[in-house]
A and B are shown apart, each in its own frame.
Chain A
């Protein structure tokens, strides 16, 4: 396989992972209206959990981390999703009961910052700022593939997971449960007046989103074998928000489009701009300026996103009309 093929295949994997990430945030914000400004934290929980479950004991490496159980990847991935869902349940269970959006956002980011500080400053947990590395590639102990072939395998493997999660996301969104979530998003007080338990329904949205984030994190750490705090700084949440807003909220394909445009095309394309020697951060900084500008421009010019939420229609047969003979209002 040539360099270009290798590079493109890697991009495809990133694309698949970002699809999953955007779908998760879509469930929380696009469908249920929860302003989760610390979404990336659940990605990190997924990555670290999967990492320490699949990696071997820390004593065999010169890192420090807990567990190290050498579990198979799929099991670790499911556990990671569950751990993140429980974390989302804990955070949401407390915060979603009372707080209006702006205070909720403050709490979320605060909790995310605390978690970040805890992980970065406690090297015994997940090897701190040096990052967690040496995570084995899924299934490769059985398959024993060379790196090029393995890459193709991982593309297919992550693709299957992604498609499954996409179908699930679509099913959830277009179900009565999804409709109840959207009602919460539109007017919480009205939804409650009609008997919807807002805490329960929003917690479900929260937990599903967290699980998706965690699966994305698990796949990423499996793919690049490592993760460090610099890979999940708070601004990352907003790259995903940008993808969601630009691609289209509450729209499964809109999330895909957003994932393609922002994290993949935009971020990758700008990686190739020349670096200024006096200011190596310039490229990344300008990129983030552009993301901020894109978010604002998108909300101004096309708030519904490129692929807006699809209008729900009843596709089955319509019963014969009662025939009151009165014209409509």
Chain B
């Protein structure tokens, strides 16, 4: 039962990250292997602001998330877009994102070093909701996640930007032909996806209480799993998949050695990709 509580928190973290990734991959059609490093960077930026500059944790979290968003846009403009303009084949674009991941992840390690970190927060008293047990921060994580998801939903369904993102997700050519400024929308998507990744990194680090530079890498494939299970480009699918995976990994940890927690997600991912490559929740257009 405790595990279900943990599962919900993990699902919340996963949902933020998975939605960020699925939006970015849906619009740009490029699987970004540097995404993990956005998470890690978010956590470390927040740490430096929180512990180094003594900023309030939540303020640091917000600033760090936005910071990562900026880094993501910069990465697109400086590195990825030039290759896209050259019509570089997909396999080499993927390798470029790997190169980006090597750079960002190791810069992180170079700047902050390999030790474990923790945020500077007041101590938490756990409280109970039914049979489940949370700290108030964990509760906040769930709350933030829900708020972020609602925000994204509103963005996609009510705003022109959201509509533009959805039509680019279906077909970039058609979107461009109907007058959408695809370059601008792309920048916004990277900013949004980077911000969500940074936020996910911060709350993940918060949930783990101590973290090191492997933060993002350890969870990247669970995020991929959520994105693919939910159908690429579908935020609601990603959220659903995140809940399923979050619960599954935590509940399975009761039964199996917890070192294998993430491996359960990987196996689910591999199974889904092989049986049904377009994901479980069908998404029109993208495959």
**A interface list, Cβ under 8 A from B:** 29, 33, 35, 37, 94-95, 98-103, 105-107, 109-111, 113-114, 117-118, 120-121, 235, 238, 241, 245, 278-282, 285-289, 291-293, 295-296, 299-300, 303
Contacts and interface: CB of A to CB of B under 8 A. Distances in A.
A35 B31 CA distance: 13
B103 A289 contact: yes
Contacts of B270: 107, 110-111
Interface residues of B, number: 42
A117 B90 contact: no
B217 to A, nearest CB: 8
Contacts of B102: 235, 238, 288-289, 291-292, 295
A299 B88 contact: yes
Given A95-B274, A113-B266, A121 B260 contact: yes
Interface of B: 30-31, 33, 79, 82-83, 88, 90-92, 94-96, 98-103, 105-107, 109-110, 113-114, 221, 224-225, 228, 257, 259-260, 262-263, 266-267, 269-270, 273-274, 277
B110 A289 contact: yes
Contact of B269 (A94, A106, A121, A282): A106
Contacts, number: 126
Contact of A288 (B95, B96, B106): B106
Contact of B82 (A95, A111, A285, A300): A300
Contacts of A292: 98-103, 106
A5 to B, nearest CB: 34
13 contacts: A35-B95, A103-B273, A106-B269, A110-B221, A110-B225, A117-B260, A117-B262, A121-B257, A238-B99, A279-B113, A287-B106, A292-B99, A292-B101
A295 B110 contact: no
A281 B103 contact: no
A18 B266 CA distance: 30
Given A35-B91, A106-B273, A285 B106 contact: yes
Contacts of A99: 273-274, 277
Nearest to A235: B102
A33 B95 CA distance: 12
B108 to A, nearest CB: 8
Contacts of B100: 292, 296
A245 B92 CA distance: 10
Given A110-B221, A110-B269, A288-B106, A101 B96 contact: no
Given A102-B90, A107-B270, A111-B270, A295 B98 contact: yes
Nearest to B225: A110
A291 B104 CA distance: 12
A295 B106 CA distance: 14
Given A107-B270, A117-B262, 14 more contacts: A29-B91, A37-B98, A101-B91, A102-B90, A105-B94, A109-B221, A110-B266, A113-B262, A281-B114, A289-B110, A292-B101, A293-B99, A295-B102, A299-B88
